[in-house]
Amino acid sequence: MDGFNIIMVIAIILFARLGVRLVTGYIKMKKETKEENKEPDA
């Protein structure tokens, strides 16, 4: 495996991790907003 491939593998891993973290962060944010919206009604 040459240098280029190693860099590609690392980049793919990092970007995949970034994607997962951004999506989970977004879902969490939405969930929290939803819960806060519900609170005053309760």
Q: What share of the chain is helix, strand, coil (3-state, %, to 5)?
A: 85, 0, 15
CA quadruple 27, 28, 33, 37: dihedral sign: positive
3-22: which residues touch other proteins (CB under 8 A)? 3, 6-7, 10-11, 14-15, 17-18, 21-22
19-38: which residues touch other proteins (CB under 8 A)? 21-22, 25-26, 29, 32-33, 36-37
Contact residues for other proteins (CB under 8 A)? 3, 6-7, 10-11, 14-15, 17-18, 21-22, 25-26, 29, 32-33, 36-37, 40
